[in-house]
Amino acid sequence: MTASILAGLCLLAQAQAQAQSAGTPGTETMAAPAAKTGSAQDAKKQAQKDAAKLGTVVVTGIRASLAKALDTKRNADAIVDAIDAEDIGKFPTTNVAEALAQIPGVTLDRSIPATQRVSIDGMDPSLNLTLLDGHPVSQAMWLFGDNPNRGFNYSLLPSEILGRLEVYKSPEARLPEGSIGGTVIMHTVQPLDVAANTVSGTVGFDYNDMVKQSKPNASVFYSWKNQASTFGVDISAQHFEQTTSRQGLEVYSYSPVSSLAASNPALQSEIASGKIKGSDEMPNNVSASNFQQVEKRDSLNANLQFRPNEFWESRLGLMWMRDNLDNVNQSVYVWPGLRPNGITSLTEGANGIITGGSSSDVACKGDTAGACATKAITLADNFARQSTVTTKGADWQNTFHGDGWALSTDVGVSTSSNPMTSALKELAYGGSYNWSLSKGIQFTDPSTANDPDYWADYGWGGNYATLMYKARDQFAQIDFDKSFDGFINQVSVGLRYASHWESQTENVYGGAALETLSEIGYGGLSDLAGASALGLWSSSVNHVQALDAAAIRAAVLGSPGFPGFSDAVSYWDNTWAVKQKNTAAYLQADFASGDLHGNFGVRLVHTENTEQGFNVPGTCLSADTWNCDFPQGFGYVTARTSRTDVLPAVNVAYDVTSDLVLRGALSEVVGYAPYNQMAPYFEANDTVLTATAGNPDLKPYRSINADFSGEWYFADQSLLAVSFFYKDLLNYIVNASQYELRQNGSWTLPGYQTATGAAQIADGDCTASGMCLYSVTAPVNGGRAKVKGGTVNYQQPFSNSGFGVRVNYTYSDGSTAAGGPLPYNSRHSFNIGPYFEKGPYSASVSYGWRSKYLAGGYVAGAPSTTIDGYKELDASVGYQFLKNFTVSVNMLNLLNSTYYAYLGSKTQLSDEYKTGRQFMLALHFKFN
């Protein structure tokens, strides 16, 4: 097999592409079932001819859209699901991720609705691979302090540019490596597949009922080709705005009561009486949280296609996108664990969790020195973050056809960058309060708690941070296909080179003036409809807040002499770069004999990783100064690793009858850890003493996958299918937490020691020099894991009534060798989607539910949490008037479902959010 690969590679000259006759990524090659006449090779050629016809995007209704998707699935050699452009347009969706949720085995994480993460067959989103016309798209991280992952952020890609997409559940040797769950291939609309002078677009707005705001949206698509259909160009432009609001309750960490009772007689008395136990876990802080964002995305995409004859086709794809994701995150949180002497009582709940309590203190007005709040403290974190992701890409594909052969090339580049900033004003209030895990916060004296003059910097004026995040992909591929008559009807060989580089550089500046909330800019009391819907106390719903993002930034950046301090430790801990280079060769043979068809092959991948980050001596960390001489082996260090993987893949399909297809697949696959996890970095939250770190010694995920399916096409546009999957992961990366003594990066910021630092020393968490005990979460090679499960998929239109339905159910049981859960794996999930379309009317409903699953935290050092079962109800109605116009209303999250995350038992709350219902009114037009 190796000799065959090398022989094939001698024919190659440059890199990346897809052979049109092989049905490779980026080409329109899946089609309606070929007639069961003639040889298998003739049938395959007929299917390819039909594919060219189906490649033309003609909007003919929901049923036609579903029929095209079934045609793709029916004729594939692998286990594949598909979505046509109509699915994205006429079912209740705002982005590609929500359209993908209609596919069996696909589930979404909805912590922040606009940035959904997609799991396939129970695997972490980082372990899926997403390609646009066969090539990668770079993605810069958008949220300051986020945990970046390799999972594709579908909200960054306008759905209007897509003609269809496919999800490969079982791999083929020709497909790029990096996926254990599934490979998603998105196809843009090509100009030679569309009628000349086609103009289409949408004008509308969306409305979020929780914040009572509406935002405009507009898109336009134009395609032209000459009369001979040898040259064409299309271009699409979009302006998209969306309000995202996430309101609710957060708990940042827990501590045993025994660690807080040493100096508090009231707690000692409650322990002695048996009311509470020293082993009970108590929330260190309970926060009323309000995340606010208005996303504004502008994009341009263009395709140029040249097909002068039947022997040569050339395509150039260009993309540009700017996504503004500025946001304000305001959290008001009581912190009994920071001032344990003020605790007057605690309430024990189930499973040894303290579910409520009280703290008492005397409020002080204008306490910028931090002299008050010695027994009870409430903090208000006001983050104003700027985030603009700019993504660019170019992709050039060529295909040459001869007598029974095809040669394809693809080369391109994609870049993405985001110069993020974060301004923080952290204010304190020293009055008494009650807290509850079910009700949130209630201040004892609202008259002082709601007075902005009682909220002030407590000896520390906040900070300003900049984080430059960059990503770049370069790729090149060449493929050669040769057709034969006989059992082996096609042999494909190819070579692919892909390089990905990702980095971040962070700087933190201090020295802001000490101010009260009145001086910063008072925005009145909040009115959090989400907190109200959760049944929280009035102080969680209505509390003081800063005026706006501009006021927060001005309070920091406008301080006299700012910046007065640049933190060295923050720079060292959060600056890193990773480069991964993959060189791969493959050999694949397609076979067919009678009713049997499929492919087998092998992919040879050589991976080289270069990881860079700071290794800083402890003396430099404790001094937290730029004046540090790095000894040999310290400073900005580089680690390099390399490995070679041999990845075989076999797909077999058997047409039992003209309506019944059985499939089986066996493969070995690899996946890779998120880039930041591979870097030698350390990102900390210095206030709550949690951190996340990288690990340059991580090995790739590696798995042996087995897939089986049976598909019964029992009627026109109808399907009943079952599938089974089994993944034996030979190496699975897990997050492990341990305590580590590190220098507190905020220790030398003006006022930090006299405020938070003093309390951390008193609690025994930090030394006088600022060496603190952090709970550090870092990835480690976790050994083996297994995932087994299956899906049931039913789809049928009901005669000519206009009614139809789609239903699917997925079971996925995943665990590590130690019995721990796998991230993002829900054991049960299902979707029910009835629809109606007749004449000018269309309507659809989608109800989805997934059971609980493990998910990582969204901020540095946040522990992994369990997300409770989540349900989603969406609906869409449309009416076509005149010939070229349609009006539609999409309604999402109609149940305003609660996103509930917990630690350990369900009584140990981590996060609880509401995000509101979303309504989108749109006018669609199309002329050709």
Q: Tell me the pLDDT tens digit for each residue of 280-313.
A: 999 999 999 999 999 999 999 999 999 999 999 9
Average pLDDT of span 256-279: 93
Average pLDDT of span 61-69: 79
Average pLDDT of span 113-117: 65
The SS3 assignment for 527 reads: coil
Tokens of 742: 């590190």
Which tops the pLDDT comparison, 10 or 369?
Answer: 369
Q: Tell me the pLDDT tens digit for each residue of 726-784.
A: 999 998 887 777 788 888 877 877 778 887 888 889 888 999 988 899 888 888 887 88
Looking at residue 115, its pLDDT comes to 57
Decide the pairing of beta strands 388-401 and 312-324.
antiparallel
Q: Which long-range contacts (CB under 8 A, 24 or more apart) does 239-242 make?
A: 239/296, 239/297, 239/298, 240/158, 240/295, 240/296, 240/297, 240/298, 240/299, 241/206, 241/215, 241/216, 241/217, 241/294, 241/295, 241/296, 241/297, 242/94, 242/114, 242/206, 242/215, 242/217, 242/294, 242/295
Tell me if 503 sits within 8 A of 469, measured CB to CB. Answer: yes
Q: Is the pLDDT at 43 greater than 50, yes or no?
A: no
Average pLDDT of span 625-636: 85
**If pLDDT is split at 50, 70 and 90, which confidence band does 116 have?**
low
- Strand order through the sheet with 343-348: 343-348, 354-359, 433-436, 440-443
Looking at residue 158, its pLDDT comes to 64
Which tops the pLDDT comparison, 287 or 99?
Answer: 287
Looking at residue 89, its pLDDT comes to 54
Looking at residue 429, its pLDDT comes to 96
Looking at residue 85, its pLDDT comes to 67
The SS3 assignment for 570 reads: helix
240 by Cβ neighbours in 10 Å (0-12 / 13-18 / 19+) ranks as buried
Q: Tell me the pLDDT tens digit for each residue of 125-163.
A: 889 999 999 999 998 988 887 766 787 877 766 666 778
Residue showing tokens 């080179």:
497
Looking at residue 608, its pLDDT comes to 96
Q: With 0.85 as the threshold, say if the pTM is over it.
A: yes
Which tops the pLDDT comparison, 175 or 735?
Answer: 175
Which tops the pLDDT comparison, 802 or 49?
Answer: 802
What rounded mean pLDDT belongs to the chain? 87
Tell me if 202 sits within 8 A of 629, measured CB to CB. Answer: no
**If pLDDT is split at 50, 70 and 90, which confidence band does 252 have?**
confident
Looking at residue 33, its pLDDT comes to 31
- Cis peptide bond N-terminal to 563, omega within 30: yes
Looking at residue 94, its pLDDT comes to 66
**If pLDDT is split at 50, 70 and 90, which confidence band does 877 have?**
very high
Q: Tell me the pLDDT tens digit for each residue of 513-565.
A: 999 999 999 999 999 999 999 999 999 999 999 999 999 999 999 999 999 88
Average pLDDT of span 253-279: 92
**If pLDDT is split at 50, 70 and 90, which confidence band does 856 have?**
low
Q: Is the pLDDT at 14 greater than 50, yes or no?
A: no
Q: Tell me the pLDDT tens digit for each residue of 560-596.
A: 999 988 999 889 988 999 999 999 999 999 999 999 9
Q: Is the pLDDT at 6 greater than 60, yes or no?
A: no
Dihedrals φ, ψ of 769, to 5°?
Answer: -90, 0
**If pLDDT is split at 50, 70 and 90, which confidence band does 13 have?**
very low
Highest mean pLDDT among 93-102, 236-245, 650-659: 650-659
Q: Tell me the pLDDT tens digit for each residue of 392-413.
A: 999 999 999 999 999 999 999 9
Q: Whole-angstrom Cα distance, residue 807 to residue 809?
A: 7
Looking at residue 4, its pLDDT comes to 38
Q: Tell me the pLDDT tens digit for each residue of 796-854.
A: 999 889 999 999 999 999 988 888 888 889 999 999 999 999 999 999 999 999 999 98
Tell me if 893 sits within 8 A of 113, measured CB to CB. Answer: yes
Tokens of 666: 């066996």
**If pLDDT is split at 50, 70 and 90, which confidence band does 114 have?**
low
Left if phi > 0, otherwise alpha if psi is -120 to 50, otherwise beta: which for 266? alpha
Looking at residue 301, its pLDDT comes to 93
